[in-house]
Amino acid sequence: MKSFKEHPSVRERKDVLDHIEDFIENQVERNVRRGIDEIERFVKQELLRQGKKKDEPSLFSYLDALREDWQVAALAPSTKFVVARVLKKIDWKTTRTIIEYGSASGVITKQLLARLPADGCLVAIETNAKFVSALSRHQDPRLRVIHGSVLELDRLLAPSQPRSVDAIVSGIPFSYLKPMDRHQLLHKTEERLRPGGRFIAYQVTTHLIPLMKYHFRDVDVQFEIRNLPPHFIFTGYK
């Protein structure tokens, strides 16, 4: 009988992760994206049926950004249920510095600021210019809005931003990144956190589970169905 090594090599672990990622991308995400397209069509039809105008504050502004920018992860802004789950995963007794990947329309950003202490700091990184413009209108000295890609994290944060942070919150769609970019970003994320810090990511698919288990000592997974589309909330502990 062939014996199994107790500790697989780095190469073997990487091969396993690559196989898992390929399976999720080819077998799972294709159906998820098809479902999201159907939901989008239904939502737009319902809004039009109810007489919503495109220039009214509604889901349309978010859908416009979604169509123009593939890096907008969700069909609609996060609901209070997803926001509540994200906020609950942050240790507010010890958290002073937070980085947010993909702040989008600022739904979670506002709630982070509402709970952050007066001497706290929130760095919001966003690629979409329209969202950056909206976020920049917040008159809060604790908020720093950066227009750019989290794939250039070190360049964006150097030299004036905190080197070690308490929590990192992410809404960017990791499934849209190249496999190596996912690994590198999670590696840089883990490095940026202080010991005991937390990385909280809300995602449409389970794509991040094997990756986060590789990069973090412990990973918690939750699911929130009361969102459009439903979201997973992953928490990685350093």
Check whether 72 has a pLDDT greater than 60. no
Rounded to whole angstroms, how far apart are CA atoms 188 and 152?
Answer: 10
Q: Residue 56 has what pLDDT? A: 44
Average pLDDT over residues 62-86: 61
Q: Residue 1 has what pLDDT? A: 42
Q: Residue 105 has what pLDDT? A: 86
Q: Residue 236 has what pLDDT? A: 98
What tens digit of pLDDT does each residue of 191-225 get? 999 999 999 999 988 889 999 999 999 999 999 98
Q: Residue 230 has what pLDDT? A: 85
Rounded to whole angstroms, how far apart are CA atoms 64 and 75?
Answer: 10
Please say whether the beta carbons of 69 and 102 come within 8 A: no
Domain ranges of the chain: 1-238
Tokens of 183: 């690994």
Q: Which of 4-13, 127-136, 187-196, 207-216 has the lowest mean pLDDT?
A: 4-13
Average pLDDT over residues 32-46: 64
φ, ψ for residue 28, nearest 5 deg? -100, -55
Q: Residue 161 has what pLDDT? A: 72
Q: Does residue 169 or residue 64 have the better pLDDT?
A: 169
Average pLDDT over residues 111-136: 95
Q: Residue 158 has what pLDDT? A: 79
Average pLDDT over residues 142-168: 90
Check whether 117 has a pLDDT greater than 80. yes
Q: Does residue 62 or residue 185 have the better pLDDT?
A: 185
Average per-residue pLDDT in the chain?
Answer: 81
Residues 6+ apart with CB under 8 A from 10: none
- Of the pLDDT bands very low, low, confident and very high (cuts 50, 70, 90), residue 12 is low
Please say whether the beta carbons of 112 and 98 come within 8 A: yes
CATH class of 1-238: alpha beta
Q: Residue 51 has what pLDDT? A: 63
Check whether 3 has a pLDDT greater than 70. no
Q: Residue 226 has what pLDDT? A: 85
Residues 171-201 as b/e (b if ≥16 CB within 10 A, e otherwise) read bbbbbebeeeebbebbebbbebbeeebbbbb
Q: Which of 90-99, 108-117, 153-162, 196-205 has the lowest mean pLDDT?
A: 153-162
Check whether 37 has a pLDDT greater than 60. yes
